[in-house]
Amino acid sequence: MRGSPTRPGRAPAGGARPARRTAGALAAAALTLPLLGAAPSAPPPDAGPSDGTRLQEAFDAAATTYEVPRSVLLAVSYLQSRWDTHDGAPSVTGGYGPMHLTDARTALASATSHHDEGTEDPRGDDARPALRPEAQVPPAAALPDRLATLPRAAELTGLSAERLREDPAANVAGGAALLADAQRRLGGGPSEDPARWYGAVARFSGADDTASAAAYADDVYAVIRAGAHRVTDTGEPVALAARPGLAPDRSALRRAGLRTASGDSAATECPATVSCEWIPAPYEEFGDGDYGNHDLSDRPVSQPIRYIVVHDTEGAWEGVLASVQDPTFVSWHYSLRSTDGHIAQHVRTRDVAWHAGNWYVNAGAVGLEHEGFLAEPDAWYTEAMYRSSARLVRYLAGKYDIPLDRQHVLGHDTVPGPTSAAVPGMHTDPGPYWDWAHYFELLGSPFGATAERSGGLVTIRPDYATHGPVFTGCGRAGEPCAAHGSSAVRLYSEHDERSALIRDIGLGANPTTGVNDLSSRVSTGQQYAVADRWGDWTAIWYLGQKAWFRNPKKQPTAVPAAGRVVTPRKGLDSVPVYGRAYPEKAAYPEGVPAQEVSPLPYTLPKGQQYVTGGEVPGEYLYAVAFDRSSHQVVRGKELYHRIQFGHRVAFVRAADVTVKQG
């Protein structure tokens, strides 16, 4: 999406948002956590329950007061927030504090879809008239229980809603009260045995179907078995001791009164470790040869699936589901819910959804929409959704042999414009606040140094928690966004932060610090060839220019990398750059109009190097009619290299470049 201004009502309803945390607290780096089911590394000596930290003590006190096992309370909180407080700011679904108590009456006051905004044609196929979705997101109905747990916690504890939002200790107490209440409602009394709390944990998720609630509870108990420890966003160490042999009693879930998911879960393509239901997008013809909202296909037999595209929804769950079920709208393969990580699948992975704004990418991609908002740095995602998404991506990557790197797991913001005219209108989600480093840790492919310090490549890798470049335009144009950790690193024309920002000629405007302006920034996990070094600064080749970023030794924003690069073939001063890898004209059979292989407004000059993510054939899916009998995949003899050219990926002809080790 192109991040919309901050929606009304995002500040806590009970008063002004607290000041951002101090630089000292920000400087405490979060510890890397093991994947669920993996053996945790030994906790640091100062991270145990005896260290007297306020948050650790709050968990102890709440567990005692409400007779909830401490391990259950800690594990539920970890799955919601990783024990972070977010300074009282709401999540994408109006959840507050370490326990993610929800009060979404105003937090979700407006709902849109990111496909409603900007000029990008989500289908991205100029063989058909541009698609301009006109579907209207329906008005929100009554809030489901999962979005109103904070008012219930206020009733149970006698604490004010304002205090539950802004005081972490009160928030923890509210979560403990909700768990104890769920345990009582299920007919279970207080128990020190965490195994007896499975049903209460399932109910705490807020899910109204058995599969989602069980998947959430299974995750909580996996956290308890593995243990956890980290330093929170307030600089406090919190620890949960591992209990590897704990086996929960799942029998209480039968008494929870939850429904069976409405969709056919057997029809879904999801790993067994997530909750997933089938809510299909329609394939319908609606007059004048037009149809929606996706294309039937036979991937990977007809053509490979090479990419996974990460989006955010810019809207709330119910409205998003309504939109994707409208045949006149657009489509994507999966939606992921923030409160509990529940997944809905809408399009078979064999079929082509309309989501990325580039038909070449769409034809070879699976699209994932995450409930969230780009232009709201404090509208954080839950750990439950990050983990559910990572499990889904690992499953898809294994099924379709997709490498787990940033040239194959794409943000919508790294999909190239297919033509020069399309470049300015391309979407920018999930934006600078998506935590790519944590996401790839959960994928089992963390970003780290793969070469010596003198290596010719770098992988962008700032510390998300402490790295906070200033962005503007989250609320009003030109006004600073709230201070927040970020995956993005800013680029300058010289080794000086007072120098001009790097300009993207394809956007046709001067670069800014706007949250949607991708002109002069790179993102965690992306790799670039080193062009120069100067003290604490590193220069990379970027959009045909030498671009500088701060990379101090004590707090690096990039690590050395090894890999292959492309450079113009000997005798060429520069080579054209493309937004899609289409076949040469001679490859098109009779009856299939040849698609123009049009270069973008950039060139790759001689002497410069760009990291290649691999060689791909020229390929075009011809699908312009509802009747599939006319659909064809055209393949040419021309080969391309997919490269990390700027913030977005791009393509160059293999015949134009030389490949070498960087």
Residues 6+ away with beta carbon under 8 Å from 458? 527, 528, 530, 538, 540, 551, 558, 559, 560, 561
Counting the structural domains of the chain, the total is 4
Q: Which range has the worst mean pLDDT, 85-94, 193-202, 520-529, 617-626?
A: 85-94
pLDDT band at 142; cut points 50, 70, 90 = low
Q: Which residues pair with 344 in a beta bridge?
A: 277, 335
pLDDT at 32 over 80: no
Q: How far apart are CA 225 and CA 242, in angstroms?
A: 5
For residue 661, the SS3 value is strand
In a domain, 196, yes or no: yes
| Confidence (pLDDT) at 21 | 36
Residues 282-293, mean pLDDT to the nearest whole number: 89
Q: Are residues 80 and 208 in the same domain?
A: yes
- Take residue 143 and report the two structure tokens written for it: 């809030």
Q: Are residues 239 and 181 in the same domain?
A: yes
Residues 6+ away with beta carbon under 8 Å from 93? 102, 104, 107, 108, 146, 147, 316, 317, 338, 339, 371, 382
Contact 308, 366 (CB under 8 A): yes
pLDDT band at 93; cut points 50, 70, 90 = confident
Contact 493, 58 (CB under 8 A): no
Q: In this predicted model, what pLDDT tens digit does every residue of 595-626 receive, in sequence order?
A: 999 999 999 999 999 999 999 999 999 999 99
Which residues span the domain enclosing 85? 23-108+143-255
- Which percentage of the chain shows pLDDT scores above 70? 87
Q: Are residues 438 and 405 in the same domain?
A: yes
Q: Are residues 180 and 289 in the same domain?
A: no
pLDDT at 255 over 60: yes
Q: In this predicted model, what pLDDT tens digit does every residue of 294-333 receive, in sequence order?
A: 999 999 999 999 999 999 988 778 888 999 999 999 999 9
pLDDT at 29 over 90: no
Q: Are residues 509 and 578 in the same domain?
A: no
Residues 137-150, mean pLDDT to the nearest whole number: 74
Q: In this predicted model, what pLDDT tens digit does every residue of 94-137 receive, in sequence order?
A: 899 999 999 876 555 545 566 666 678 889 998 888 876 666 65
In a domain, 210, yes or no: yes
Closest among 446, 467, 447 to 459, alpha carbons compared: 447
Q: Are residues 181 and 285 in the same domain?
A: no
Q: Are residues 536 and 595 in the same domain?
A: no
pLDDT band at 30; cut points 50, 70, 90 = very low
For residue 123, the SS3 value is coil
Q: In this predicted model, what pLDDT tens digit does every residue of 388-423 receive, in sequence order?
A: 999 999 999 999 999 999 999 999 999 999 999 999
| Confidence (pLDDT) at 574 | 98
Q: Which range has the worst mean pLDDT, 6-15, 242-251, 443-452?
A: 6-15
pLDDT at 373 over 90: no
- Give the chain's mean pLDDT: 88
Q: Are residues 76 and 202 in the same domain?
A: yes
pLDDT at 566 over 70: yes
For residue 328, the SS3 value is coil
- Comparison of pLDDT for 117 and 653, the residue scoring more: 653
> At which of 446, 481, 511 does a domain end?
446
Q: Are strands 409-411 and 307-312 parallel, antiparallel or unpaired?
A: parallel
In a domain, 129, yes or no: no
In a domain, 216, yes or no: yes
Q: Are residues 579 and 551 in the same domain?
A: no
pLDDT at 141 over 90: no
Q: In this predicted model, what pLDDT tens digit does every residue of 428-441 receive, in sequence order?
A: 999 999 999 999 99
Closest among 428, 436, 416, 447 to 485, alpha carbons compared: 436
In a domain, 121, yes or no: no
202, 242, 258, 321, 398 from 149: Cα distances, Å: 14, 28, 17, 22, 37
| Confidence (pLDDT) at 107 | 54
31, 490, 495 from 499: Cα distances, Å: 34, 12, 8
188, 256, 335, 380, 570 from 77: Cα distances, Å: 21, 21, 23, 14, 58
- Take residue 113 and report the two structure tokens written for it: 């879809």
pLDDT band at 45; cut points 50, 70, 90 = very low
Residues 45-53, mean pLDDT to the nearest whole number: 41
In a domain, 457, yes or no: no
Q: In this predicted model, what pLDDT tens digit does every residue of 477-488 receive, in sequence order?
A: 889 988 888 999
| Confidence (pLDDT) at 46 | 34
Q: Are residues 474 and 372 in the same domain?
A: no
In a domain, 11, yes or no: no
Q: Which range has the worst mean pLDDT, 238-247, 354-363, 378-387, 582-591?
A: 378-387
pLDDT at 168 over 80: yes
9, 142, 361, 634, 650 from 302: Cα distances, Å: 48, 44, 15, 10, 23
> At which of 555, 577, 599 does a domain end?
555
> At which of 520, 555, 590 does a domain end?
555
Q: Are residues 389 and 307 in the same domain?
A: yes
Q: Are residues 91 and 191 in the same domain?
A: yes
In a domain, 114, yes or no: no
The domain that contains 175 carries what CATH number?
A: 1.10.530
pLDDT at 196 over 70: yes
| Confidence (pLDDT) at 275 | 93
| Confidence (pLDDT) at 277 | 93
pLDDT at 377 over 80: no
